[in-house]
Amino acid sequence: MHRIKKVSAQMLEEKIADATVSVSDTAAKRDIMSILVRPRITDKDGGYRMSDRAMMDQVLTFLGAGHETTASGLAWTLWLLANNGPAQGKLRKEVSALVTENPRPDYRSLRDLQYLGCVVYAASLPILSPLH
């Protein structure tokens, strides 16, 4: 847990520093850290500004909450694929084509994989959602 806190604190410090330099970029971003930092940078009236500790606590809460559901959803998706050879082969072909082109694909590239989206959002999650 100490390492998670240390890395999260470092990321939060970087986000605050980036936001101070480029307010317009921070206003457009929708990640949790940007949302937490935004009032500190944009509120010049002295309204409520979350302390560093409170922001850190929020980040850790989101990390903890997301961990279990993500791990469970991934486990069930892999189980479904392990039991469906044709679907596994089709997904492997789609992902392999992307990774051959770009060994470290970004989120947008992965999001654009149509069959991967079908496997995760149309097959796995509705059948075996970690939130049931």
**Structural domain range at position 38:** 2-50
- State whether 98 and 71 are in the same domain: yes
Residues 45 and 72 in one domain: no
Separation of alpha carbons 120 and 87, rounded Å: 12
| Total structural domains within the chain | 2
Residue 128 has pLDDT above 70, yes or no: no
- Domain membership of residue 87 (yes or no) is yes
CA–CA separation, 16 vs 52, rounded Å? 10
Asked if residue 83 and residue 44 are part of one domain, the reply reads: no
Q: Is residue 57 part of a domain?
A: no
How far apart CA 53 and CA 117 sit, in angstroms, is: 37
Does a structural domain hold residue 82?
yes
Asked if 17 and 46 sit in the same domain, the reply is: yes
Spatial CB neighbours of 98, under 8 Å, sequence gap ≥ 6:
105, 109, 110, 113
Residue 114 confidence class, pLDDT cut points 50, 70, 90: very high
Burial status of residue 43 (CB atoms within 10 A of its CB: 0-12, 13-18, 19 or more): exposed
Report pLDDT digits (tens) over 45-55. 666 677 888 88
